[in-house]
Amino acid sequence: MPYFSDQTFQNKSTSDFQVGEYDSCTFVGCNFSNLNFHGASFEDCTFKDCDLSNAKVSGVSFQQVKFERCKVLGVHFNSANPFLLEFNFQNCQLDYCNFFNLKLKKSRFINSRLLEVDFTQAELQEASFQGSDLSGTVFDRSNLEKSDFRQAIHFRIDPEINKVKGAKFDLEGLPGLLEKWGIKVQ
């Protein structure tokens, strides 16, 4: 399998992508929508201004991977290789992605849009969702201990079925925690 290290790939498309091991590589302005990444691995890589919508990531390794201003719609990250999985999303669109049952401790979802995302049974200790829109996002039996939800909007988290000890919320986020009981904060 080809090995790529410290390289920058710009404006590539699905037909240009070569399955291989990518270490400390940067992808800029690439359109990888609907691409099957099966067999690839990414370690310490960065994707900037890329489109990975509906990409297939079954068995793909993502270790300390950053996404900046990327469009990542409908990706089933729950099928990726779970070993040392760690993400950092900033200013991304992650609508309809699936992170079911993944260990994502300390992952970052900053100033991003996560509409209808599934975090059921995910381990998100010390994760950050600061400034993100979490409309319709599902947290069900998720571990959110010490996670940061400050400036996040539209989230609904049931403290009875999710672990939230030490999680950070601002006052504007209280309705998302109290909705289950019909309590209104004004």
The secondary structure of 122-183 as a DSSP string is: -B-TT-B-TT-B-TT-B-SS-B-TT-B-TT-BS----TTTSB-TT-B--GGGHHHHHGGGT-
Predicted local confidence at residue 185, as pLDDT = 66
Average pLDDT for 164-177: 88
Q: Is 24 left (phi over 0), alpha (psi -120 to 50) or beta?
A: left
Do 83 and 61 contact (CB within 8 A), yes or no?
Answer: yes
Q: Is the pLDDT reported for residue 177 higher than 70? A: yes
Q: Which of 167, 120, 119, 162 has the alpha carbon at shortest distance from 143?
A: 162
pLDDT, position 182: 75
57 vs 37: CA distance, rounded Å:
5
Average pLDDT of the residues of the chain: 95
Tell me the Ramachandran region of residue 6: left when phi exceeds 0, alpha when psi lies from -120 to 50, beta otherwise: left
Indicate the SS3 state at residue 74. Answer: coil
The pLDDT-based confidence of 172 (bands split at 50, 70, 90) is confident
Q: pTM to 2 decimals?
A: 0.93
Burial class from Cβ neighbours inside 10 Å (0-12, 13-18, 19+) for residue 186 reads exposed
Looking at the predicted structure, is the pLDDT value of residue 186 above 80? no
Residue 28 pairs in a beta bridge with 10, 48
HSE at residue 133, side-chain half, CA atoms within 13 A, is: 10
Average pLDDT over residues 157-173: 93
